[in-house]
Structure 1
Amino acid sequence: MTETLWPAPVATAAVDATVTIPGSKSVTNRALVLAALASEPGWVRRPLRSRDSQLMADGLRALGVGIEEQVNNSSGGSGGGEAWRVIPAGQLRGPAQVDVGNAGTVMRFLPPLAALADGPVHFDGDPRSYERPQHGVIESLRALGARIDDGGRGGFPLTVHGTGALDGGTVELDASSSSQFVSALLLSGARYNQGVEIRNIGGPVPSLPHIRMTVDMLRLAGVQVDAPEDGGEKDVWRVTPGALLGRDIVVEPDLSNAAPFFAAALVTGGRVTVRDWPRHTTQPGDALRGIYAQMGGSHRFTDEGLEFTGSGRIHGIEVDLHDVGELTPVIAAVAALADSESHLYGIAHLRLHETDRLAALAKEINDLGGDVSETEDGLRIRPRPLKGGVFHTYEDHRIATAAAVIGLAVPGVQVENVATTAKTLPDFPQMWADLLDPPAAAGV
């Protein structure tokens, strides 16, 4: 099979652009699940339209949830006024077939919901989904009273034999490999007869801001949640049983997807504004402001959004990315172009994402002449002069955007399967081209 290669554009001048980032995948897919479980219809406005969100919507439709897609061109802001009206099923239905693709939110969030269906729900997905951790969800659901047939694999494919209800109660699990194990149970827990109490008995939970996002969105839906960060017991989350309200949710831009665009400002010594950046948010991507500032940039809020400016110098960084691991690939790409060594740590869990992100980054940057070594829980990056070559993506959207960032400064970088960016950032190649050569009508 011939590789499909995308020549990464080289920056010939400092970038100066304003970018509209599509909606957050994390918010979109949580909002869809909560709306599907509500007692009345709701709206999800400015949703992300990507492979991951489409898989979530299609999975919910298979269970009987109505999702009507509408566009109101008179609405402003990111998303162009698009909205999804979600009509709960009343009783989720089985038998059903759900394709999880390689979407972590779909493979973790829908099985707990399927336990409430009135028949069997079969889940399957991409080959990589068979390798990603699912044991935390499977074992927890069994402890809460669900019957799951996974052939003893602890992963996909699997069938959840829904009985229309689930007892719920207290469950102990090891959530050290994915915060999504906790979020998955929290999202459906209010519909379980006894609610749910989740006790993490493993190591530190990665990506805690994503659990905070789940908790805040549950509370907006009228659910009572006790969480450690609100003074509750350490590593324990509780959801009280009860009805969920149908809400009107506006999805924020996906701040993690701003990583390559702000990186372009750093790498070229230019300026990039991301429209509609929220001043207060639970999204992990908000950490970009501080991390990139340490690497040589500066930022300020404007009427339009968040403006980030590069200084023309990139500094190495020593940083714990445990809570914001999804930012690692692009940060690693920037670090490979810095003027000093970087150490990224706290991210051993990235070996279990769409691909082994630590191994992939080390191999691909080294193949371009870099000097990246894996540590027990991260990467050491020693900048070296890089050369062009093929940068493989391993069907991982964030590896692809990292390659594009390196390509700004290194002629001849060819990105294999850049189309994988459609997972969360549709039209990335065109957005990247517009960043370097803004259309004449931009900003009008």
Structure 2
Amino acid sequence: MTSAPASTDLPLWDAPVADGPLEATVEVPGSKSLTNRALVLAALADGPGTLRGALRSRDADLMIAALRSLGATVTEGEAPSTLHVTPGPVTGSTSIDCGLAGTVMRFLPPVAALADGDVRFDGDPEARVRPMQPVLAGLHGLGVRVTGEGDEAGATVPSHLPFTVHGRGHVAGGSVDIDASGSSQFVSALLLAAPRFDRPLTLRHIGTTLPSLPHIEMTVAALREVGVAVDDSRDGIWQVTPGPIAARDLRVEPDLSNAAPFLAAALVAGGTVRVPGWPTSTTQPGAMVPELLERMGGTASLDDGVLSVRGTGEIHGIDVDLRAGGELAPTFAVLAALADSPTRLRGIAHLRGHETDRLAALAAEITRLGGRCEETRDGLVITPRPLHGGVFRTYADHRMATSAALLGLRVPDVQVENVATTAKTLPGFDGIWARMLGRGTEDQD
């Protein structure tokens, strides 16, 4: 039985059903989070640098274009994933298209504050509802003028795109308090530019929760790797000392969060899926994936840098706090809808401010296909029920699309709205998914 199609003018992709147990090796492109942090630091460095294995996706390409407009030179090497970055003076009198990339809209306003003129920021319609106030309030506290448009034209600090950062060629530095309860990116944004401030930056988080702490730890590690002194010895307080940012030749790790739906496919269809290049130590939140998959019924092993996940088709519900890895929630919510017992995902209230309100979106789409998924104050409760096919809307959110594909491995007639939105972080996802199933590229749309 197939539900009535959801109303959509966007293209629909027929999610392929697995014919049997999988036996696949999936090469996952570089980490978006690491790529875009490394690009920012390379553009502010004391000399030319190179990124190898960098992700090339819409988010990364938007970051490249933005850094070029701010004065850096970014060129491709022998492969598109090799990027040579030559810093230049940070220049203003330009505009930046953020698309739907949180790392662009949040990481670059502090860089733009170093420019010698105005820098206007705007993005996709969906980006205009994503919260921006904490990082802009932090800049305001450091003496940087930021002005909004439309309804926010008279606001002391704008809350959303579009806005203009009025750069004066330098940022004084100092102490500032922000509430980063909505996104760890607000902290990372200020830390990444702080080595170029005139004086040390002392940044305090004053909110009640701090989501995705591993992403802040990733930022701190990236800064230390290029010679920047960062003191994070006190909870919720970071101090960055101004100084040179060393140019590097850096290899980017695979994106472990993008690997999650492929590895989870082994639990849904049975069989084994392998991802090469899995690091033994990492700051990526996706490092949680193997343990979580084992808790849900799979087995995982790491051998010579290849992570293998095996499944039997049995999936068990779990109760887990995903505060440190909220980006994994769509994958595990869909797994939970196919499990043999209920699941509770906690600590992810901040997902309401991502590409879409991911909690509402997951509850709506799992329910649309016959499941039971209920929002809580800080997460989701998923109670397994028999599922049926239908349109799974994605809300221009790449992780909604990859999760829908995972559901379609077991549930016939799932149609994924606008699977091309996966290009945000994983270009060619539908082809990679088809090859995992041993089908070449015939399932591409």
Q: State the TM-score, normalized to the length of structure 2.
A: 0.94
* Structure-to-structure mapping, 1:187-336, within 5 angstroms: 187-227=192-232, 232-303=233-304, 305-336=306-337
Match of 1:94 among 82, 92, 95: 92
1:19 aligns to 2:26 (yes or no)? yes
Match of 1:46 among 46, 53, 57: 53
Per-residue deviation, 1:439: 5.1
Matched position secondary structure for 1:190: helix
1:158 is aligned to: 163
User: Structure 2 counterpart of 1:37, which letter?
Assistant: L
1:112 is aligned to: 110
**How far apart, CA to CA, are the structure 1 residues paired with 2:389 and 2:235?**
48
Counterpart contact for 2:434–2:440, Cα < 8 Å:
no
Counterpart contact for 1:17–1:438, Cα < 8 Å:
no
Q: Deviations over 1:178-235 (max 9, x none)?
A: 10000000000010001211001111210000000000010011100011xxxx1221
1:65 aligns to 2:64 (yes or no)? no
User: Structure 2 counterpart of 1:85, which letter?
Assistant: H
Per-residue deviation, 1:263: 1.0
**How far apart, CA to CA, are the structure 1 residues paired with 2:251 and 2:235?**
31
Q: Deviations over 1:323-370 (max 9, x none)?
A: 100000010000000000000111000011000001000110101000
Counterpart contact for 2:54–2:82, Cα < 8 Å:
yes
Corresponding residue pairs, total: 427
Which stretch has the larger CA shift, 375-384 or 146-155?
A: 146-155
Per-residue deviation, 1:3: 2.8
1:55 aligns to 2:62 (yes or no)? yes
Counterpart contact for 2:279–2:305, Cα < 8 Å:
no
Counterpart contact for 1:195–1:240, Cα < 8 Å:
yes
Match of 1:172 among 160, 177, 187: 177
**How far apart, CA to CA, are the structure 2 residues paired with 1:145 and 1:289?**
45
Per-residue deviation, 1:311: 2.9
Which stretch has the larger CA shift, 298-307 or 421-430?
A: 298-307
**How far apart, CA to CA, are the structure 2 residues paired with 1:203 and 1:122?**
31
Matched position secondary structure for 2:177: strand
User: Structure 1 counterpart of 2:115, which letter?
Assistant: A
Counterpart contact for 1:316–1:341, Cα < 8 Å:
yes
* Structure-to-structure mapping, 1:426-441, within 5 angstroms: 426-437=427-438
**How far apart, CA to CA, are the structure 2 residues paired with 1:57 and 1:439?**
31
2:190 is aligned to: 185
1:75 is aligned to: none
1:6 aligns to 2:17 (yes or no)? no
Matched position secondary structure for 2:203: strand
Percentage of pairs with the same residue:
56
Matched position secondary structure for 1:113: helix
1:83 is aligned to: 82
User: Structure 2 counterpart of 1:331, which letter?
Assistant: F
User: Structure 2 counterpart of 1:394, which letter?
Assistant: Y
Per-residue deviation, 1:302: 2.0
Q: Deviations over 1:238-259 (max 9, x none)?
A: 1001111101111000000011
> Unpaired runs of 5+ in structure 2?
1-7
**How far apart, CA to CA, are the structure 1 residues paired with 2:439 and 2:104?**
35
* Structure-to-structure mapping, 1:24-35, within 5 angstroms: 24-35=31-42
> 4+ residue stretches of structure 1 with deviation over 6 A?
none
> Unpaired runs of 5+ in structure 1?
73-78
2:4 is aligned to: none
**How far apart, CA to CA, are the structure 2 residues paired with 1:287 and 1:382?**
23
Matched position secondary structure for 1:165: coil
Counterpart contact for 2:256–2:286, Cα < 8 Å:
yes
Matched position secondary structure for 1:71: coil
Q: Deviations over 1:48-81 (max 9, x none)?
A: 0000000000000001100011125xxxxxx8xx
1:351 is aligned to: 352
* Pair 1:286–1:438, CA change in 2 (3 A): farther
**How far apart, CA to CA, are the structure 2 residues paired with 1:405 and 1:234?**
37
1:363 aligns to 2:364 (yes or no)? yes
**How far apart, CA to CA, are the structure 2 residues paired with 1:339 and 1:225?**
46
